[in-house]
């Protein structure tokens, strides 16, 4: 779950408990390109206070204006479209005359926001099923392959634990990497059994463990929403963790080091019970080339590559945004 959307649910529940009215907007469909993925959410309090995002800003402004002008309006959920006409597309800044469809849902204490937050907090992946006619919302177990569905009457949204990241090593680079990763919505665990590093690691919102990295990998039970980044330069720590991580479903496994060091690492892994196909999953040297030199710049480089892999973009074909969009448009023509 996107950390922005998690904040939407959190604030919605808090506002409801304070006795405030809340309108929840969920982005359910687009025709043409869109700046936010389907399932993105926006919550507007009865006084116009807003959290979340469903577009580049213009649609948010319109929804806030409507709430401030007319109140929360309908007492039950409704589907609305923005950008149907060329004039609306220009007004709301939609690209290429695109159209967005949203479900606007006035929340109540019976909407189950607190129960949904509890399930997500417990690490469960759940589906929230909303009947737009009755306003009834129910929670059900979901799987990693489930996605948002909307048939005009029933909206099913998927909510679950944030992506997890395991960072091996509590170095200065790890501090920047972990801090930025938290902002990207990851639940970050930093593992380092070395007292000289772990004693001074104090990043808020990050879990620090001092167990051996390979034991930590096993204990975390990595799944498809996990990334593992080895940063210690110590084969006794990095390699043991990588051996276990490469056998897991983790979507990203990478190790810091030069090309020469990474080739030596691959040779070492081959000597152990790691198959060539598993070693082929290893990213290293990690990061996208952006000329980075300082720890914060290197952290951005690493997280850029992880983000690309998470979003299904081949890091080897990353290009400036304008170039990539033009190439995609040419390919679709």
CATH of residue 248's domain is 3.40.50.720
Does 330 fall in a domain?
A: no
User: Which is more confidently placed, 202 or 170?
Assistant: 170
pLDDT digits (tens, 9 = 90+) for 280-312: 999 999 999 888 889 999 999 999 999 999 988
| pLDDT band at 34; cut points 50, 70, 90 | low
Question: Does 85 score more than 80 pLDDT?
Answer: no
Task: Let me know whether 304 and 281 are in one domain.
Answer: yes
User: Which is more confidently placed, 95 or 245?
Assistant: 245
Structural domain of 37: 3-159
pLDDT digits (tens, 9 = 90+) for 209-219: 999 999 999 99
pLDDT digits (tens, 9 = 90+) for 190-249: 999 998 888 888 888 889 999 999 999 999 999 888 999 999 988 889 998 999 999 999
Does 329 fall in a domain?
A: no
Task: Let me know whether 92 and 136 are in one domain.
Answer: yes
Task: Let me know whether 143 and 189 are in one domain.
Answer: no
Task: Let me know whether 170 and 122 are in one domain.
Answer: no
E strand segments, the chain: 22-31, 41-45, 50-52, 78-82, 99-107, 126-131, 137-141, 149-150, 154-159, 164-168, 187-191, 206-209, 226-230, 252-255, 282-283
User: Distances in Å between the alpha carbon of 31 and those of 97, 100, 104?
Assistant: 9, 7, 18
pLDDT digits (tens, 9 = 90+) for 50-66: 998 887 667 888 888 88
Q: How many CA atoms lie within 13 A of 38 on its CB side?
A: 18
Q: What is the reported pLDDT for 92?
A: 58
What is the residue-averaged pLDDT of the chain? 87
User: Which is more confidently placed, 6 or 176?
Assistant: 176
Task: Let me know whether 55 and 168 are in one domain.
Answer: no
The alpha carbon of 130 is separated from its chain's Cα centroid by a whole number of angstroms, namely: 23
% residues pLDDT > 90 (the chain): 54
Question: Does 94 score more than 60 pLDDT?
Answer: no
Task: Let me know whether 139 and 197 are in one domain.
Answer: no
d(CA 229, CA 178): 10
State the total domains in the chain: 2
pLDDT digits (tens, 9 = 90+) for 106-120: 998 889 999 999 988
The alpha carbon of 160 is separated from its chain's Cα centroid by a whole number of angstroms, namely: 10
Q: What is the reported pLDDT for 132?
A: 93
């Amino acid at each position: 779950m996107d950390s922005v959307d998690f904040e939407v649910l959190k604030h919605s529940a808090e506002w409801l408990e304070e006795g405030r009215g809340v309108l929840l907007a969920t982005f359910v469909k687009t025709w043409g390109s869109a700046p936010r993925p389907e399932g993105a959410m926006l919550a507007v309090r009865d006084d116009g206070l807003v959290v979340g995002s469903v577009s580049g800003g213009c649609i948010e402004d319109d929804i806030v204006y409507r709430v401030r002008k007319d109140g929360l309006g309908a007492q039950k959920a409704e589907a609305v479209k923005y950008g149907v006409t060329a004039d609306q597309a220009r007004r709301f800044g939609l690209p290429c005359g695109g159209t967005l469809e949203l479900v606007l849902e006035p929340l109540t204490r019976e909407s189950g926001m607190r129960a949904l937050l509890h399930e997500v907090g417990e690490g469960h992946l759940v589906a929230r099923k909303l009947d737009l006619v009755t306003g009834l919302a129910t929670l059900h177990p979901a799987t990693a392959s489930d996605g948002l569905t909307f048939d005009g009457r029933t909206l099913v949204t998927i909510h679950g634990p944030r992506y997890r990241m395991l960072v091996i090593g509590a170095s200065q680079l790890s501090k920047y990497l972990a801090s930025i990763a938290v902002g990207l919505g990851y639940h970050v665990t930093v593992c380092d059994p070395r007292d000289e590093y772990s004693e001074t690691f104090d990043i808020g919102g990050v879990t620090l463990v001092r167990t051996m990295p390979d034991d930590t990998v096993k204990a975390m039970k990595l799944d498809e929403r996990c990334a593992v980044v080895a940063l210690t330069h110590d084969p006794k720590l990095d390699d043991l963790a990588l051996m276990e991580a490469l056998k897991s479903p983790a979507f990203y496994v990478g190790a810091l080091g030069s090309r020469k060091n990474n080739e030596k690492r691959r040779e070492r892994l081959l000597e152990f019970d790691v198959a060539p196909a598993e070693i082929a999953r290893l990213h290293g040297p990690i990061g996208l080339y952006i000329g980075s030199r300082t720890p914060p710049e290197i952290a951005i480089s690493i997280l850029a590559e992880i983000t690309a892999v998470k979003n299904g973009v081949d890091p080897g074909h990353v290009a400036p945004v304008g170039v990539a969009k033009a190439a995609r448009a040419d390919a679709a023509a």
